[in-house]
């Protein structure tokens, strides 16, 4: 990969160094973007090994465009799949309600729609961030955030030691249950969406097309798409659950999945039966925060705007945050003003997507006459289905 030309901050009061808390997709994209902006970057990640679980991720043009700007699109395309179309089906009959081809939409939005295994994206971002000079400290858990003279300090546990990591700015990319958000006094509890996501990867059945399939049904839906260069199919089965659960990446109860989809189309049941096991997530988001930061500390990704996965935008928005933060830092001004400019640029858009994702979750699970009305709208939108979210993909 040719070395990208870094854009460097010109103002002498601008941030020169950053500590990023969290080495998920948001934190690693941020590390790469800030390195390219000329900052010294340390990533503190509590896990001893980088390992994104949960299998698949859809990446829309608003995210792949930024990954291209960051110089990682060729690596991504080598492990991802560019799906042919979005095929929306009725869960009970298996019949297609509507279909929209990604190719023409990718041309309109100037970047590809891709589906990828999370671990592949995380690994390639970590590799690119390290090559660009970022330091990723694994097994390092944030314990406290402190002000330091002219900067900020992350105190982190590494084994039985407490180590201080100083920098000009601190970015909390530490997920939906963010410790940095708590440090900022934003004690916003994640909201349970009354939904569970069961995830699995299975071998691709013979003649299965390279599509993203969305099966809709009463109180449940299923998303299926290829990952690992087309070698595996990723399945996400979403079901209703009224009792709040603390489950996060726990082994899933296969019997509960099969029961929830027992009356669905044979092709759906066959897919689910081919899964050796499921992992289960309780789905949570947060209400839009009144602010994302203070002084030299800010938030990014799920820590700032955790959203439900029904628009496939959580990781994409974290990637957008990373680019926006680098741009704000390069636009001049002192470090804290640049963070406030970044937050101002991002807050409205992410709040709108959080709210649309909640709405989509309801629309997917309709039954009775509202379901018929929804299907009518879907049928009439046809190829224009994807343009409904042009405001997301084209930005």
> Closest distance between ligand FAD and the C-beta of residue 333, in Å?
25
Q: Where are the beta strands (DSSP E) in the chain?
A: 17-21, 40-44, 56-59, 85-90, 96-101, 114-117, 135-137, 140-148, 151-158, 161-167, 169-172, 191-203, 212-217, 220-227, 232-240, 250-251, 279-285, 297-299
Which of 102, 109, 198, 225 is catalytic? The answer is 225
**67, 312, 326, 336: which one contacts ligand FAD (CB under 6 A)?**
312
Which range in 15-23, 186-194, 251-259, 350-358 contacts ligand FAD by CB under 6 A?
15-23
> Closest distance between ligand FAD and the C-beta of residue 142, in Å?
4
Contact call for residue 163 and ligand FAD (CB under 6 A):
no
Give DSSP secondary structure letters for 121-171: HHHHHHHHHHHTT-EEE-SEEEEEEEEETTEEEEEEEETTEEEEEEESEEE
Contact call for residue 173 and ligand FAD (CB under 6 A):
yes
Which range in 42-50, 83-91, 210-218, 374-382 contacts ligand FAD by CB under 6 A?
42-50
Q: Pairing state of beta strands 140-148 and 169-172?
A: unpaired
198 contacts 236 by C-beta, under 8 angstroms: yes
Contact call for residue 201 and ligand FAD (CB under 6 A):
no
Contact call for residue 21 and ligand FAD (CB under 6 A):
yes
Reduced to 3 states (helix: H, G, I; strand: E, B; else coil), residue 180 is helix
Contact call for residue 309 and ligand FAD (CB under 6 A):
yes
- Site residues for ligand FAD, window 216-255 (CB under 6 A)? 236
> Closest distance between ligand FAD and the C-beta of residue 119, in Å?
12
From CA 171, how far away is CA 325, in angstroms rounded? 10
330 contacts 37 by C-beta, under 8 angstroms: yes
Active site residue 225: yes
Size of the site for ligand FAD (CB under 6 A): 31
**Catalytic residue numbers?**
225
> Can you give the binding site for ligand FAD, defined by CB under 6 A?
21-27, 44-47, 57-58, 141-142, 173-175, 179, 197, 236, 281, 301-302, 309, 312-316, 318
């Amino acid at each position: 990969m040719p070395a990208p030309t870094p854009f460097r901050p010109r103002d002498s009061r601008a941030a020169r160094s950053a500590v990023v808390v969290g080495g998920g997709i948001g934190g690693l994209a941020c590390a790469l973007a800030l390195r390219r902006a000329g900052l010294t970057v340390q990533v503190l990640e509590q896990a001893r090994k980088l390992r994104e679980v949960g299998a698949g991720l859809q990446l829309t043009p608003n995210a792949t465009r930024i990954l291209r700007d960051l110089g990682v699109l060729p690596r991504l395309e080598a492990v991802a799949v560019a799906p042919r179309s979005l095929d929306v089906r009725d869960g009970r009959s298996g019949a297609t309600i509507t279909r929209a081809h990604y190719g023409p939409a990718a041309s309109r939005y100037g970047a590809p729609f891709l589906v990828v295994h999370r671990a592949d994206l995380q690994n390639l971002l970590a590799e690119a961030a390290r090559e660009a000079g970022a330091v990723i400290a694994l097994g390092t858990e944030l314990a406290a955030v402190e002000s330091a003279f002219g900067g900020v300090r992350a105190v982190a546990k590494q084994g039985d030691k407490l180590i201080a990591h100083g920098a000009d700015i601190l970015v909390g990319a530490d997920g939906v249950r963010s410790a940095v958000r708590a440090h900022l006094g934003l004690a916003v509890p994640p909201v349970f969406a009354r939904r569970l996501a069961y995830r699995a990867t299975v071998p691709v059945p013979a003649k299965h097309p390279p599509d993203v399939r969305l099966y809709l049904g009463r109180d449940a839906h299923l998303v299926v798409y290829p990952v690992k260069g087309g070698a595996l199919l990723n399945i996400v089965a979403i079901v209703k659950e009224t009792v709040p659960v603390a489950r996060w990446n726990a082994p899933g109860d296969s019997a509960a999945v099969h029961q929830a989809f027992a009356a669905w189309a044979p092709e759906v049941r066959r897919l689910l039966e081919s899964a050796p096991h499921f992992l289960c997530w309780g789905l949570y988001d947060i209400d839009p925060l009144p602010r994302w930061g203070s002084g030299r500390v800010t938030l990014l990704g799920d820590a700032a705007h955790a959203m439900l996965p029904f628009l496939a935008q959580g990781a994409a928005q974290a990637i957008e945050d990373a680019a926006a933060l680098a741009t704000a830092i390069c636009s001049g001004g002192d470090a804290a003003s640049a963070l406030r400019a970044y937050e101002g640029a991002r807050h409205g858009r992410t709040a709108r997507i959080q709210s649309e994702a909640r709405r989509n979750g309801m629309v997917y699970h309709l039954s009775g006459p509202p379901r018929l009305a929804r299907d009518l709208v879907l049928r009439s939108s046809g190829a224009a289905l994807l343009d409904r979210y042009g405001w997301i993909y084209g930005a």
